[in-house]
Amino acid sequence: MKELIRVENLKKHFPLKRSLIEAITRIPPRLVKAVDGVSFTIKNGETLGLVGESGSGKTTTGRLILRLIEPTNGRILFEDKEITSLKNEALRKMRKDMQIIFQDPMAALNPYMKIGEAVRHPLKIHGIGSSKKEQLDTVYNMLEKVNLTPPRNFYNRYPKELSGGQRQRVVIARALITNPRFVVADEALAMLDVSVRSQLLQLLLDLKNEFNLTYLFITHDLATTKYICDRIIVMYLGKIVEIGSFDDIYRSPAHPYTKALISAVPEPDPKIQKSKKKLIPQGEVPNPINPPSGCRFHPRCPYSIKNLCSVEEPVMKEISDNHFVACHLFD
The contact set with other proteins (CB under 8 A) reads: 53-54, 163-166, 193-199, 201-202, 205, 220-224, 226-227, 246-247, 250-251, 260-270, 272-273, 278, 280-282, 284-285
Minimum distance, C-beta of residue 287 to other proteins, in the bound complex (Å): 9
- In the chain, alpha helices (H): 20-24, 58-65, 88-95, 105-108, 115-126, 132-145, 151-155, 164-176, 194-211, 222-228, 246-251, 256-264, 270-275
**Rounded Cα distance, 28 and 271, in Å:** 55
Closest CA to 129 of 182, 180, 183, 177: 177
Give, as one character, the DSSP assignment of residue 324: E
CB of 123 to other proteins, least distance (A): 28
Least CB distance from residue 269 to other proteins, whole Å?
6
CA torsion angle 99 102 107 111 (round to 10):
50
| Nearest CB to other proteins, comparing residues 183 and 260 | 260
Calpha distance 103→96 (Å, rounded):
20
Of 135 and 166, nearer to other proteins (C-beta) is: 166
CB of 274 to other proteins, least distance (A): 9
- Cβ closest to other proteins, residue 34 vs residue 65: 34
CB of 134 to other proteins, least distance (A): 32
**Smallest distance from the beta carbon of 301 to other proteins, in angstroms?**
13
**Rounded to the nearest 5°, which phi and psi values hold at 35?**
-125, 125
Residue whose CB is less far from other proteins, 97 or 144: 144
Nearest to other proteins of 81, 271 (CB atom): 271
* Residue 253, C-beta contacts closer than 8 angstroms, at least 6 positions apart: 242, 259, 261, 262
Angstrom distance (rounded) from CA 281 to CA 301? 7
Q: Are 105 and 159 in contact (CB under 8 A)?
A: yes
**CB-wise, 7 or 248, nearer to other proteins?**
248
- Check if the beta carbon of residue 157 is closer than 8 Å to that of residue 114: yes
The least distance separating other proteins from the CB of residue 247, rounded to whole angstroms, comes to: 7
Task: State which residue, 25 or 282, has the beta carbon closest to other proteins.
Answer: 282
41 or 245: CB nearest other proteins: 245
CA distances (Å), origin 235, targets 40, 100, 106, 240 = 12, 20, 28, 4
Q: Minimum distance between the CB of residue 299 and other proteins, rounded to whole angstroms?
A: 14
CA distance 62 to 96: 16
**With contact defined as beta carbons under 8 Å apart, do 221 and 185 qualify?**
no
